[in-house]
Amino acid sequence: MAVDFKFKIIIIGPAAVGKTSIINRFVHNRFTTKYQFTIGVDFLSKRVSYDPAAPDSHASLQIWDIGGQERFKFLHRNFYQGASGALLIFDLSRESTFTEMRDWLSEMYETIHEQIPFVLVGNKADLIPEIGEVIDRKAIDLFIQNEKCYYVETSAKTGKHVEDAFIELSAQMVKKMRTLKAR
């Protein structure tokens, strides 16, 4: 008998890195160039199969899209509570968004007070052929190595690897849940 896991995941990162666009691509398979800042938080849900080899392996995701503007930072702590996992997103075309990743990770752990699975996501991969590499790959590799996290480059515009990020996070949350239950 299959177990259907239910998870709250938070989507965090600086403003205008494509958090809302990634969620809309994942949930509705659409992309728009009409962008509006997320004020506070938005919610969406989707059920996914987290293990392609096991068709019964489903997780229901409650996705919290948390605004990245500095002026709404005081609200973040309320939205992080109860999260089982996170997508930590930066913009591959703006180096400053990557340098903020440690701050976002620190804020998350200070608020949640536990280690939850997260996937580091470099978004806007579709811009790299146009503008070239902006962020030092060695810095990304060092971050991945230090945090022992999964990393994926996505494009909300084309859909490239967006679903992979959510499926990987779902698999990590299920693994953590099973490990805790086995104790």
Question: Do residues 90 and 98 lie in contact, with contact meaning Cβ atoms separated by under 8 Å?
Answer: yes
Average pLDDT value for the chain: 89
pLDDT digits (tens, 9 = 90+) for 46-91: 999 998 888 788 999 999 987 755 655 555 567 888 999 999 999 9
Q: What is the mean pLDDT of residues 22-29?
A: 96
Q: Residue 1 pLDDT more than 50?
A: no
Going by pLDDT thresholds of 50, 70 and 90, the confidence category of residue 181 is: confident
> Distance between CA atoms of 139 and 144, rounded to whole angstroms?
9
Domain boundaries, the chain: 4-182
Residue 35 pLDDT exceeds 90: no
User: How many residues belong to the chain?
Assistant: 183
Domain 4-182 has CATH 3.40.50.300: yes
Beta bridge partners of 87: 11, 119
Residue 78 backbone zone (phi > 0: left; psi -120 to 50: alpha; other: beta): alpha
Q: What DSSP character marks residue 42?
A: E
The predicted model scores a pTM of 0.91
Tokens of 174: 């299920």
pLDDT-wise least confident of 27-31, 35-39, 45-49: 35-39
Q: For residue range 88-116, what is the model confidence (pLDDT) as tens digits?
A: 999 999 999 999 999 999 999 998 988 99
